[in-house]
Chain A
């Protein structure tokens, strides 16, 4: 299991092995939603805010 830094608080975020670009992770320290924008090496950015038209 690898790690990356939270873009919001700088804490270490644990990453699972089957990480996918476009996936959303939660920072367990500050609660920020983070989007995986690269996997090699892993890079996290702030996830987009929930939009009104999101759904199924």
Chain B
């Protein structure tokens, strides 16, 4: 197949994908989106004539627009713009999960410091405040006291981009020192791992240690439902164990998998390319239409 890999930075994840695609003799077109110009009618020349465009943009804003343009040009892209839009924004992500009946941490959104403080006080301490757009655990805060809450809100309101004035506040989930990352295609797990840390943040990007994890039936059910809720495609679904169940706190649409590939026996890039081949063979578009 002829596949266009949309990127602005080649991470180890993209290198693994490129290697797998080339090993299978696919014709890979690397497209650096920083160099392209997007008209409202006609696609950039490198986008034309490909079987599939694969969004691997590290920049969320670029990912959102480039997938939107691909859909407008009627070009096949994974993941599609609806999936990207739903996953990129934590508010939309939470709403989609809740609407689908997926257990997800209790969350409130407020637009002023005063209303945000009321949310924080109603959750009690500790609770968590997160940026609505962001990744790798950056700018997340566990709030232990009212004075800390006041300081964080003041900083966000004064120093932040307007998105930081959308206060996304969440209950603190007492997880057992670890969370679970499942990489799934069309809701079917490719591989999974637990990420453990003494720190409350257990992102691999924050240095958490990882170990393979075998999802049970309930985790599989939640992964499938969460995937469908956000528009489907190739996703990184994060769960926390809550004793007798799980809670899904996040779904990522340009999922990184190098840590998972290192941790498990599964050849993750091979499985991803298997899925891409299936998408092309079935002429499917993922997450392009509003639910």
Contacts and interface: CB of A to CB of B under 8 A. Distances in A.
Interface residues of A, number: 15
A21 B60 contact: no
Contact of B58 (A21, A36, A55): A55
Interface in B45-92: 58-61
A54 B201 CA distance: 18
A35 B8 CA distance: 11
B18 interface: yes
A56 B250 CA distance: 11
Given A20-B15, A20-B18, A23-B15, A55 B10 contact: no
Contact of B10 (A22, A51, A53, A54): A22
The interface size bin for chain B is: 20 to 34
Contact of B8 (A18, A22, A36, A55): A22
Contact of B136 (A22, A24, A56): A56
Interface string A8-33: 00000000001011111000000000
Contacts of A22: 7-10, 14, 30, 32
Interface in B241-281: 252-256
B252 A56 contact: yes
A19 B255 CA distance: 22
Contacts of A52: 131, 133-134, 138-139, 161
Contacts of A48: 9
A52 B236 CA distance: 20
B272 to A, nearest CB: 14
Contacts of B161: 52
B145 interface: no
Instruction: Choose among B58, B61, B131 the residue with the greatest number of A CB atoms under 10 Å from its CB.
Output: B58
B112 interface: no
B158 interface: no
Nearest to A52: B134
Contacts of B139: 52
Contact of A54 (B15, B18, B135, B253): B135
A35 B7 CA distance: 13
Nearest to A54: B58
Interface string B2-46: 000001111100110011000000000010100000000000000
Contacts of A55: 58, 60, 134-136, 138, 252, 254
A52 B10 CA distance: 18
A10 to B, nearest CB: 24
Instruction: Choose among A22, A23, A51 the residue with the greatest number of B CB atoms under 10 Å from its CB.
Output: A22
B12 to A, nearest CB: 9
Given A23-B9, A53-B134, A54-B58, 10 more contacts: A18-B15, A20-B30, A21-B10, A22-B7, A22-B8, A22-B32, A24-B11, A52-B138, A52-B139, A56-B236
23 contacts: A20-B15, A20-B30, A21-B10, A21-B32, A22-B30, A23-B10, A24-B9, A24-B11, A35-B9, A36-B10, A52-B161, A53-B59, A53-B134, A54-B58, A54-B60, A54-B135, A55-B58, A55-B60, A55-B134, A55-B136, A55-B138, A55-B252, A56-B135
